Chains A and B, each alone.
Chain A
Amino acid sequence: MKHLLSAEDLGRDEAIAILDTAEQMSLLGDRSVKKLPTLRGRTVVNLFYEDSTRTRTSFELAAKRLSADVVNFSARGSSVSKGESLKDTALTLEAMGSDAVVIRHPASGAPHRLSSWIRGSVVNAGDGTHEHPTQALLDAFTMRRRLGRVNDLSVTIVGDVLHSRVARSNVRLLHTLGAGVTLVAPPTLLPVGVETWPAEISYDLDAVLPKSDVVMMLRVQAERMNAAFFPTEREYSRRYGLDADRMAMLPDHALVMHPGPMVRGMEIASEVADSVRSTVVEQVANGVSVRMAVLYLLLGGSPE
């Protein structure tokens, strides 16, 4: 594995190797000295064109726990249409001798472009409305920890699938790992062509919840209603939001996941977000372990 650009690129064995490695990495989090010397002398650049303290910090911690040198190359403000071009930035990073570039970018495909311009590894930390593969990996890791497996789980993903890189990565990875995925959204927020995805489609959340092992709520931006994707926040929340009544329809063991940041009161009620079923906080901790595993496997070598 040279780059991690898309969950689609991961075969079953590769994906499982990442999850197994993440499991080992997570043991480190319980130790007082939380560092491995594995990537000493290697340089990891966090190249973030979008604000995401959460993801950037997660990658930064992951790299530092592996003893890598971390450079935060904040490209915030240099919007995609002005300022230095991505290609020139890539050549600059190349000249600095970076071994891996972790990129978050508002344009779908930017990590693919970057990988054609530099020699080091590229990790996609979220590109436009395309993919966010490490999010899908940490979600799968969280499911496996809580429920013991991913294979054969029924996972329901609810919300703005059209604009969601989390949904795209999760559909691909969960399918690869043997889970059954159902997408629930108003038809306006499902892409044309979704019928070819390895997932079931439903417009009826209540019908799907009783047979779901996991329900994953996606963030829905209120401004979407300005483009007529749905009439009002209230209607969206009534039809597709997860409140306590709906949560009660889930099987006892079922998990409620959210990639964050949450819009409480819109797609998820506060009492649901804070319930014992919710893995929201755990997902954050697991994110560091999974990102350590990815950097380790890309830069350090193969798992023992």
Chain B
Amino acid sequence: MTDWLIKGAAPLGGAPTDLRLRDGRVAEAGTNLSAAGAQVVDAAGLIALPGLVDLHTHLREPGREDAETVASGTRAAALGGFTTVYAMANTSPVADTAGVVEQVWRLGRDAGHCDVRPVGAVTVGLAGLRLAELGAMASSAAAVRVFSDDGHCVADPLLMRRALEYVKAFDGVIAQHAEEPRLTEDAQMNEGVVSARLGLPGWPAAAEEAIIARDALLAGHVGSRLHVCHVSTAGSVEIIRWAKSKGWRVTAEVTPHHLLLTDDLATSYDPVFKVNPPLRTAADVEALRAGLADGTIDCVATDHAPHASQDKETEWAVARPGMLGLQTALSVVTETMVATGRLDWAGVADRMALAPARIGGHPVPDAARGGSLAVDASASMTLFDPAARWKVDPYALASRSRNTPFAGRDLPGRVVATFLRGRPTVLDGKLA
């Protein structure tokens, strides 16, 4: 494999350094490294971050290849600076057997844009009635560690307890889509001032918070690992902070869109802003940013959810919930967390690479050094230009779908290059 010399990048925003990548590792780090025998990337002014990890990606394959494929979704991931994505299980067929998770894993390996780690369903067919063969998925070639019925909540408290207990045998984690189903029947958007005015049935914050509280108690009781998907309310942040103070093994993620957007966008009735859990209020956004900054929320996860245009160019109530996220995530985090002084680049590396990898059960080898990209670290990294700005064009994204809520927005920062174990997947902002 060719050596690559990254000239003058700032690892985690620190002093500019040259990095020589060889055999999937950082072979040398220092100033004025020789370029002999290496391809050179001029990285002056660029931040080097460990390759980003997304714990929550919907790749839609198998089943809805019109909306996204493993190949198209992982191209978007690489362009967004990601080197690993966890592919959610709500495909068709559902990823609830060793066969399906291995299929997704192989599709990811063959596409080669980033590592694809399949998430296994908790219950057969996501139906919430009986456990899927979690052990078989864990032992498969896909080595599944994260299990989730995402899109649905594991609502039955006994089934949730059993799932939490069962995956301890292989250090698995249950990633819960926290949504009390009875409290959210027909729900269309955050329940509050805006839903009252628009006449759209409300999705109350309590429906999320009640499940998180219940699951935290269960995880504490049986000593298991619980991961809370897409935390969206201020109350959820408080409950998670409380659960962590008990020493329970509870982790949580927040999406970029919940860090930036609010429920008043529904006033347009444009379903590009329809998502589950829904966009909340400015007070919730503030609490989520604070929670991510202080570590109550462990990581950012995109909940990248592509939908074909016929599933979005409709009345609000008919539209499918979900938003694209992979190619805008780092820019949105820059705008909401870095530009506001809440996280430095080391913090971004933690929340977008190291913490999600740890939660997902595949920690990056240099995690102990804080993702510092020193000698011997994994050469999976992204080079990011923090000074650039770009306008989001849905038609220019790599996804097969165009449902980005950030269309037309001017966002800071641009992924210039992504390396996956020493091999470029993106160079000059384009697929390598």
Q: Which A positions have Cβ atoms within 8 angstroms of B?
A: 8, 80-81, 85-87, 105, 107-110, 112-113, 116, 127-131, 165, 168, 191-194, 196-197
Contacts and interface: CB of A to CB of B under 8 A. Distances in A.
Please give me the 4 A-B residue pairs with the lowest Cβ-Cβ distance, nearest first: A109-B269, A193-B196, A130-B199, A107-B315
Contact of A192 (B191, B313, B314): B191
A193 B198 CA distance: 11
B34 interface: no
B181 interface: no
Contacts of A85: 310, 313-314
A86 B314 contact: yes
Given A87-B313, A192-B191, A196-B193, A113 B199 contact: no
A191 B202 contact: yes
Interface of B: 188, 191-202, 204, 268-270, 310, 313-318
B196 A129 contact: no
Contact of A109 (B192, B200, B202): B200
Contacts of A112: 268-269
A185 to B, nearest CB: 13
24 contacts: A8-B197, A81-B318, A86-B314, A107-B317, A108-B200, A108-B316, A109-B316, A112-B269, A113-B270, A113-B314, A113-B315, A113-B316, A127-B199, A129-B200, A131-B199, A168-B197, A192-B195, A192-B196, A192-B202, A193-B197, A196-B193, A196-B196, A197-B196, A197-B197
A107 B316 contact: yes
A129 B196 CA distance: 9
A128 B192 contact: no
A129 B315 contact: no
Nearest to B269: A109
Contacts of A113: 269-270, 314-316
Given A191-B202, A193-B192, A105 B197 contact: no
A193 B263 CA distance: 13
A193 B195 contact: yes
Contacts of B200: 108-109, 128-130
Contact of A108 (B191, B198, B310): B198
A191 B196 contact: yes
A193 B315 contact: no
A144 B198 CA distance: 27
Given A109-B200, A191-B202, A86 B315 contact: yes
B300 to A, nearest CB: 29
Given A129-B199, A131-B199, A193-B197, A109 B315 contact: yes
Given A107-B317, A109-B315, A193-B196, 9 more contacts: A80-B317, A86-B314, A109-B200, A112-B269, A129-B201, A130-B198, A130-B200, A193-B197, A196-B196
Contacts of B310: 85
Residue of A8, A112, A191, A196 contacting most chain B CB atoms (<10 Å): A191
Residue of A81, A87, A113, A130 contacting most chain B CB atoms (<10 Å): A113
A107 B200 CA distance: 9
A87 B314 contact: yes
Nearest to A106: B317
Given A108-B200, A112-B269, A191 B195 contact: yes
A84 to B, nearest CB: 11
